[in-house]
Amino acid sequence: MDFSALRNLISRYCTGEENWVDSRTVYIGQREPPPGTEAYIPQRFPDNRIVSSKYTFWNFVPKNLFEQFRRVANFYFLIIFLVQLIIDTPTSPVTSGLPLFFVITVTAIKQGYEDWLRHKADNAVNQCPVHIIQHGKVVRKQSRKLRVGDIVLVKEDETFPSDLILLSTSRDDGTCFVTTASLDGESSHKTYYAVQDTKSFNTEKEVDMLRATIECEQPQPDLYKFVGRINIYQDRDEPIARPLGSENLLLRGATLKNTEFVYAVAIYTGMESKMALNYQSKSQKRSAVEKSMNAFLVVYLCILISKALINTTLKYVWQADPNRDEPWYNGKTDHERQRHVMIRAFTDFLAFMVLFNYIIPVSMYVTVEMQKFLGSYFITWDDEMFDEELGEGALVNTSDLNEELGQVEYVFTDKTGTLTENNMEFIECCVDGHVYVPHAICNGQILSGSSGIDMIDSSPGPDGKEREELFFRALCLCHTVQVKEEETVDGIKRGIHQGKATSFYISSSPDEVALVEGMKRLGFTYLRLKDNHMEILNREDEVERFELLEVLNFDSVRRRMSVIVRSSSGHLYLFCKGADSSIFPRVISGKVDRVRARVEHNAVEGLRTLCVAYKALSQEEYHNVCQLLDSAKLALQDRDRKLAEAYDLIERDLILLGATAVEDRLQEKAADTIESLHKAGMKVWVLTGDKMETAAATCYASKLFRRSTQILELTTKRTEEQSLHDVLFELGRTVLRQHGSLTHDTFSGLSGEFQDYGLIIDGATLSAVMKPAQDDSSGNYKEIFLEICRNCSAVLCCRMAPLQKAQIVKLIKASKEHPITLAVGDGANDVSMILEAHVGIGIMGKEGRQAARNSDYAIPKFKHLKKMLLVHGHYYYIRIAELVQYFFYKNVCFIFPQFLYQFFCGFSQQPLYDTAYLTLYNISFTSLPILLYSLIEQHVSMDILKRDPSLYRDIAKNCLLRWRIFIYWTFLGLFDSMVFFFGAYFLFDNTTFTSNGQIFGNWTFGTLVFTVLVFTVTLKLALDTHYWTWINHFVVWGSLLFYVVFSLLWGGVIWPFLNYQRMYYVFVQMLSSGPAWLGIGLLVIISLLPDVLKKVLCRALWPTSTERIQNVEKLYQSHLSEFTPLPLLNSSLPDFEAHNINPRRSGHRSKELMYTHWRGTTGYCTFSSTLGPPGIGRTHRLVGLETSV
């Protein structure tokens, strides 16, 4: 007896999978099948709600608190607060509790508001109306109430509410046109097909009478894969079964176009739809700076524990002498004195922890939150990032990652709608070497003054006239374009020429539309496909009819398509168009050399080129072609391979006619932005769902690939010829043969020293690379793939599913270097990679606002990415790095004298400073100057950061928060604190008297140390400030003045709410002593001197690029004339003076000089070359030897 089925059932039930099955059965219209056909098994499916929010009303408080207390700092301050509540400590619990409560509350309000916006957006989607067929009538419901099996009516320009199987359409042939721009980035029209047996159902009653079931696979995220079948029950006993594929599946988020209505049945709803499955779950992102802060916090926590342990141990060593007991002023009771020594020691340890607790800067987290929140407004206020066309500027959806914008190493960008405008423009065509350039035509928009044809080169002779017209006819016939006989397309009036409405072309390929429109301008107009006959209007206004016999569809492996047509005279032709690499080897005659030269010329210009060829067929040849195609199409096994073999046999012995050039128009300044990102040290990857050829052409146009770039292909075509293992190792040897173990600068290819490599990979091959190896012999493909990518200057990933985009980003994030990644896109298909990357940026494009809503930042155009990273990101990182290091530094200066003081007070936990000073040091006396610095500091001007992207490299890899710099700041704080304490101790030890002969007491000593401390740390920040405004002066000097005024008032008035007056007259008494004034000034100078000397020496001997720029900015204000040779900008002031003495110093390089014109009003420079044609600008680095790029 076979118990395997029972065992599987029990196994699944025990593991919580009792409802899990391999496939699902959907009952159309919620109707049961006829009795006796099959068992009716109702299944439970989720509703149609979409949820992108993170919290609910009930779990917000516990979930948010849990996430916030996962931060080391927040958890630590909570423990300290509880300790202060439980035991008697030297300081009040309010000093820790209030700042902690403020941070938690502000963060919770901010995150709650962001999640409320997501809830609001979800509700808008879930409550939108849908039309459902029930009992033969159309019923209107909310989208969230849609169920699996419901029949839905969708009208033109409406978005599909769930994943649907197409049953019938308003078109007689059962087809409909759909745009999937929000899913895969392709805004072109795609054709989908209704089920053959239901396509004639055109009314609600007919559709409602349908009795059928759909068996299909369980939901999975692949947009291009679907397997199922429909069983249609009629009068007969056995149902009619029809296969279902991806061509029958309408995806949620796609839009119905140029079809009046469709009827379809819901099979995947809500979070099971393919669009939702491609969404990454939203997770809390942590910046590299925050991780560094947490690491530094752990170090300071160890220092704090060490201090507490040392003091606790030394206290009991001190009290081991019978003559030394607990000091009387601590007020310990007899009961407390007689406790067990371990309990007393533990209590003392906690008391020391609280006393030294201020070394951990709780106010730093408050200041960081305020700095991020307020600093984010500088992006939204930036007028240069405002787009007039959209009427919107940049948006900040989360301010937690501002500084991460200055640390980006990898940029992953979508293509369609992000790099390009998705507007194909026909540029020219070449027939037998004769070039034709019509005026600009773009997607039906005929520009003014476009009558006539520009002829370049000589016109063809009489013999060439026939071939010219054959070329035009070939392009009018060899395509899959549909004709729209209306005045509007997508709600936009297009193609109105001389007051008359004209036909419009729609296709799954925008460049096909551009080619047909180009032929229309050149005199041959494609009219329609009617009754399987294609009609074109020639130059003599005569209609020519060609019978369409066969279509050999385009595929990315063949890289060409063909049609076989019969003319009205009975002649048979095969017209073929495709990439030059797939056409030239199949050509046996024609002006190959002249056409190839023109193709190469256009390729260099970044245009997408196609070659056109033909051959005449005899009746016998056509009969053989039909037999080949029929046998391949009827094959059940290996159908794709047999069709490819048939196409290969048919498309041979062609005659070359000519070539075309089409441009996918880039967004404004997209190429300049990518070039700037490259110079800044970032690697740019393009991840797109588009075809390889289209994407590659865009990469050339956007300067991601250059003419000298050697393209490496890791595609399905390549892996079909060789195994994946062999291809990977061959590519690895290719890129490593030259580079070897040397560190390859991805931009050195410009100088010709290295060969630049560009990698192209498609989605299917990426899946194979990412798949875990079955055995060790095949090796780790991921590591080899990553090694190849590291040595390529650019990578193009095409035919990517949305989840694959996220996998690529995750793969790079998890590599051994752990680089900071940024993803930028404009459609719902980009949401996964935007959520996966460290920083996600959405483009406010034409494909909806899903990307902008789910991103961390949103910008109107791709060009704005340049300023966001090179300027705002640079500033944010510089500012917050100084803020973090400065806070740790000033708290070391603050608390280390307290540690030293315990050695002089018998380790009695006596505070060195007054409680008011302890509380207000971080809140009032030293907080505003660093907050203002972190908001407005500009170490170099904005224009220089934009003009010299290489300055971005100076802050790469979190260089300002490395351990070496952290240790320097810590030791500087230790040095300064020892100067404060021992300077005051030795200068005033038994020597300083007031005017009435009294010696300074302990509170006066502590106040003296605190005064030196406040002035030193404030002046230290003033020395680090490069960008001074009246606000800086007001805050810096105002903070010092506030400290003095507060101290005078605090010690000069008897406050009735205090039960002690230990600070009464202390500050005034200290200032009445001349030696105190001298000591304060002397100690402040001694404390600041080492840091000043270090900066002067480093700037003189080992200046960074940024420091050279700062020197230049100071020089030009008083020394530079209007025109100064660029090499002098790299020189120090003595070099400049020497140049004035010897003006011929650079004479031998006069031809290479670039001149800079300094504009004194804005502090930036513009460069114009003295070489080359006018109007061509070249960008140069301000530092190092000038190099032309």
pLDDT at 451: 40
pLDDT for residue 668 is more than 80: yes
Mean pLDDT of the 687-710 span: 79
Q: What is the mean pLDDT of the chain?
A: 77
Please state the rounded mean pLDDT for residues 220-244.
77
Stretch 84-111: mean pLDDT: 76
The per-residue pLDDT for range 10-28, each reduced to its tens digit, is 444 333 333 445 678 888 8
Per-residue model confidence (pLDDT) at position 11? 41
Q: Is the pLDDT of residue 331 over 50?
A: yes
Among 934, 747, 872, 1084, which Cα is nearest to 366's?
A: 934
Mean pLDDT of 305-311: 88
DSSP, collapsed to helix, strand or coil, labels residue 212 as: strand
* pLDDT at position 585 over 80: yes
The 10s digit of each residue's pLDDT in 940-965 is 888 888 888 888 888 888 888 888 99
Per-residue pLDDT reduced to its tens digit, 980-1033: 888 888 877 655 555 555 666 677 888 889 999 999 999 999 998 988 899 989
Q: Report the C-alpha gap between 676 and 830 in whole angstroms.
A: 23
Q: How far apart are CA 289 and CA 307, in angstroms?
A: 27
* Residue keyed to tokens 């032929």: 519
pLDDT confidence bin for 490, thresholds 50/70/90 = very low
- Residues 430/658, Cβ–Cβ less than 8 Å: yes
Task: Supply angle C-alpha 743, 749, 752, rounded to 5.
Answer: 115
- Whether residue 495 is predicted with pLDDT greater than 70 in this model: the reply is no
**Residue bearing the bigger pLDDT, 483 or 1038:** 1038
* Confidence grade of residue 1180 (pLDDT, cut at 50, 70, 90): very low
Top-ranked range on mean pLDDT: pick from 315-329, 714-728, 751-765, 1053-1067: 714-728
Q: For residues 194 and 151, what is the distance between their CA atoms, to the nearest angstrom?
A: 14
- The pLDDT tens digits for 1103-1154 are 777 777 767 766 555 444 333 343 344 443 334 333 333 333 333 333 232 2
Determine how many CB atoms are found less than 10 A away from the CB of residue 382: 18
Strands 857-859 and 839-843: parallel
Q: Please tell me what DSSP assigns to residue 1041.
A: H
Question: What is the predicted pLDDT for the residue at 1163?
Answer: 34
Give me the mean pLDDT over the 186-210 stretch. Answer: 80
So which residues are the catalytic ones? 414
The pTM assigned to this predicted structure is: 0.68
pLDDT reported for residue 294: 80
Give the whole-angstrom CA distance, residue 486 versus residue 804. Answer: 39
* pLDDT greater at residue 844 or residue 484: 844
Query: Cβ distance 956 to 404 under 8 Å?
Result: no
Mean pLDDT over 52-61 rounds to: 86
Instruction: Estimate to the nearest angstrom the gap between the alpha carbon of 120 and the chain centroid.
Output: 24
pLDDT given at position 250: 92
* Residues 1061-1072: tens digit of each pLDDT: 666 667 777 777
Return the number of other C-beta atoms located less than 10 Å from residue 960's C-beta.
Answer: 19
Q: Comparing 1145 with 412, which gets the higher pLDDT?
A: 412
Q: CA-based Rg of the chain, rounded to a whole angstrom? A: 37
Identify the residue whose tokens are 């949103």. 858
Q: Is the pLDDT of residue 448 over 60?
A: no
Instruction: Give 615-655 pLDDT, tens digit per residue.
Output: 999 888 889 888 888 777 655 456 668 888 888 899 988 99
- For 149-168, the pLDDT digits (tens) are 899 999 988 999 999 999 99
CA 611/CA 577 separation, integer angstroms: 5
7, pLDDT greater than 70: no
511-519 mean pLDDT: 87
Residue pair 504/494 in contact (Cβ under 8 Å)? The answer is: yes
Residue-wise pLDDT for 125-138, tens only, equals: 888 999 998 888 88
Task: Give percent of the chain with pLDDT exceeding 90.
Answer: 13
State pLDDT tens for residues 732-752.
888 777 655 444 443 333 344
The string over 246-268, giving b where at least 16 C-beta atoms fall within 10 Å of a residue's C-beta and e elsewhere, is eebbbbbbbbbbbbebbbbbbbb
CA distances from 484 to 487, 490, 505, 530 (A): 8, 11, 6, 13
Average pLDDT over every residue of 373-401: 85
Quick one: pLDDT at residue 643?
80
| For range 540-556, the mean pLDDT | 84
Strands 420-431 and 1164-1168: unpaired
Q: Where residue 601 falls among pLDDT bands split at 50, 70, 90?
A: confident
- Over 80: is that where the pLDDT of 504 sits? no
Interacting residues of 234 by C-beta distance below 8 A, sequence separation 6+:
240
